[in-house]
């Protein structure tokens, strides 16, 4: 008997994952689970824990590389209605983990609420954005988040609030395996002024990033006081290619892929970049891209 007996309607076995990621690469998951309710999710999480099964949470797959060999264990995707709602109450925004970050950000702008403009053009879900404190040179989501709803490995739901909740560069102190949602405090402002800022951010990204290519955003975190992209560029690696994976000519911290590329090609190129930057500048580049 399967450990997920009774949940056959929300589980797919040996499920391809490539189409769930922006890279469109990688193998199959033993199980892809898309629970319909928080109660279902809690029971599934408990069964994973009781049976020692590895568990992964898949958002929009915008900063994720799946290995060619696939994923052993359970991949959970919070894409049902129960996890994809958001609500504004004045300047307070409450959003589920599966909410589309871009859609939510634009809605805030239309309402004349400031605080999320820095997320313009960042693809992904609210849960993933909170987990990695998504943002850029214009700011990050952590500056607006005041609390998160979490689930532990036994299926218990609880809240974590600031100041206990800490955001840092591309990281948080959240250790719970599942983020279910977040509450953000925004500020009322002139919608035209916010929209102008959004357009400026979008133009900046359009001019500096390979937006219309198959990529997964920045591959490496910026070392303190330095730019990962600048280091890779100065190491002479722009345009470097392994198989179907290439270091972008437009922004060296992006790896773009073409038809026929494998996850192995991307991994080998990542290893080559890290080695060259270490040899040239004695700097260890840390991954921002998540690899399963």
Domain boundaries, the chain: 8-81, 84-195, 210-291
The confidence score (pLDDT) of residue 2 equals: 82
Tell me how far apart the alpha carbons of residues 189 and 115 are, in angstroms, rounded to a whole number: 10
Residue 73 has pLDDT above 70, yes or no: yes
175 closest CA partner among 152, 145, 147, 141: 152
Structure tokens at 110: 């239309």
pLDDT (mean) for 56-64: 96
Residue 92's CB is within 10 A of a number of other CB atoms, namely 13
Backbone angles phi, psi at 44, to 5 degrees: -65, -45
Of residues 137 and 273, the one with the higher pLDDT is 273
The mean-pLDDT minimum among 91-100, 124-133, 198-207, 219-228 falls in 198-207
Note whether 133 and 172 are within 8 A (CB). Answer: yes
- The whole-angstrom distance between residue 276's C-alpha and the CA centroid of its chain comes to 27
The confidence score (pLDDT) of residue 83 equals: 98
- Average model confidence (pLDDT) for the chain? 96
Residue 267 has pLDDT above 80, yes or no: yes
Percentage of the chain beyond pLDDT 70 is: 100
Residue 184 — pLDDT band, cuts 50, 70, 90? very high
Residue 243 has pLDDT above 90, yes or no: yes
Backbone angles phi, psi at 146, to 5 degrees: -110, -25
Measured CA to CA in angstroms, residue 57 lies from 32, 159, 178, 217 at distances of 10, 19, 7, 19
| Residue 221: strand, helix, or coil | coil
The confidence score (pLDDT) of residue 119 equals: 92
The confidence score (pLDDT) of residue 211 equals: 84
The confidence score (pLDDT) of residue 136 equals: 83
The confidence score (pLDDT) of residue 121 equals: 86
Query: Taking each helix axis from N to C terminus, what angle separates 101-110 and 191-208, rounded to the nearest 10 degrees?
Result: 140
Residue 271 has pLDDT above 70, yes or no: yes
pLDDT (mean) for 44-58: 97
Percentage of the chain beyond pLDDT 90 is: 91
Residue 234 — pLDDT band, cuts 50, 70, 90? very high
210-291 has which fold? 3.90.78
pLDDT (mean) for 9-38: 97
pLDDT (mean) for 229-257: 98
Residue 106 has pLDDT above 80, yes or no: yes
Alpha helices by DSSP H, the chain: 38-50, 101-110, 126-131, 191-208, 228-234, 263-281
Residue 138 has pLDDT above 90, yes or no: no
Note whether 270 and 243 are within 8 A (CB). Answer: no
The confidence score (pLDDT) of residue 70 equals: 98
| In the block, residue with structure tokens 């568990």 | 55
| CATH class of the domain comprising 84-195 | alpha beta
Exposure string of 137-165, with b = 16+ CB inside 10 Å and e = fewer, is eeebbbebbebbbbbbeebeeeebeeeeb
Tell me how far apart the alpha carbons of residues 47 and 29 are, in angstroms, rounded to a whole number: 17
Residue 186 — pLDDT band, cuts 50, 70, 90? very high
38 closest CA partner among 94, 76, 86: 76
Q: Is CATH 3.40.50.2300 correct for 8-81?
A: no
Residue 1 has pLDDT above 70, yes or no: no
The confidence score (pLDDT) of residue 253 equals: 98
The confidence score (pLDDT) of residue 71 equals: 98
Q: Do domains 8-81 and 210-291 have the same CATH topology?
A: no
The confidence score (pLDDT) of residue 273 equals: 98
pLDDT (mean) for 247-259: 97
């Amino acid at each position: 008997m399967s450990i997920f007996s009774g949940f056959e309607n929300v589980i797919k076995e040996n499920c391809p994952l490539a189409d769930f990621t922006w890279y469109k690469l990688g193998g199959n998951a033993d199980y892809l689970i898309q629970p319909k309710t928080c109660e279902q999710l809690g029971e599934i999480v408990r069964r994973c824990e009781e049976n020692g099964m590895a568990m992964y949470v898949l958002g929009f797959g915008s900063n994720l590389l799946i290995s060619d060999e696939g994923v052993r264990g359970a991949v959970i995707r919070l894409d049902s209605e129960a996890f994809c709602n958001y609500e504004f109450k004045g300047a307070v925004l409450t959003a589920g983990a599966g909410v589309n970050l871009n859609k939510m950000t634009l809605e805030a702008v239309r309402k004349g609420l400031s605080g999320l403009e820095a997320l313009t053009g960042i693809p992904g879900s609210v849960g993933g954005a909170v987990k990695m404190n998504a943002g850029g040179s214009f700011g990050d989501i952590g500056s607006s988040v005041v609390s998160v709803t979490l689930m532990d490995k036994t299926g218990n739901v609880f809240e974590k609030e600031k100041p206990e909740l800490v955001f840092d560069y591309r990281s948080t102190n959240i250790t719970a395996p599942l983020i279910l949602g977040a509450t953000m405090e925004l500020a009322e402002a002139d919608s035209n002024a916010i929209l102008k800022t959004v357009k400026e951010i979008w133009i900046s990204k359009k001019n500096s990033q390979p937006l219309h290519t198959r990529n997964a955003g920045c591959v490496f975190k910026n070392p303190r006081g330095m730019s990962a992209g600048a280091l890779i560029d100065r190491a002479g690696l722009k345009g470097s290619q392994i198989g179907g994976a290439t270091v972008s000519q437009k922004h060296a911290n992006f790896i773009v892929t073409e038809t026929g590329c494998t996850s192995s090609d991307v991994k080998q190129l990542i290893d080559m970049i890290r080695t060259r930057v270490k040899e040239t500048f004695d700097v260890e580049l840390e991954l921002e891209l998540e690899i399963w």
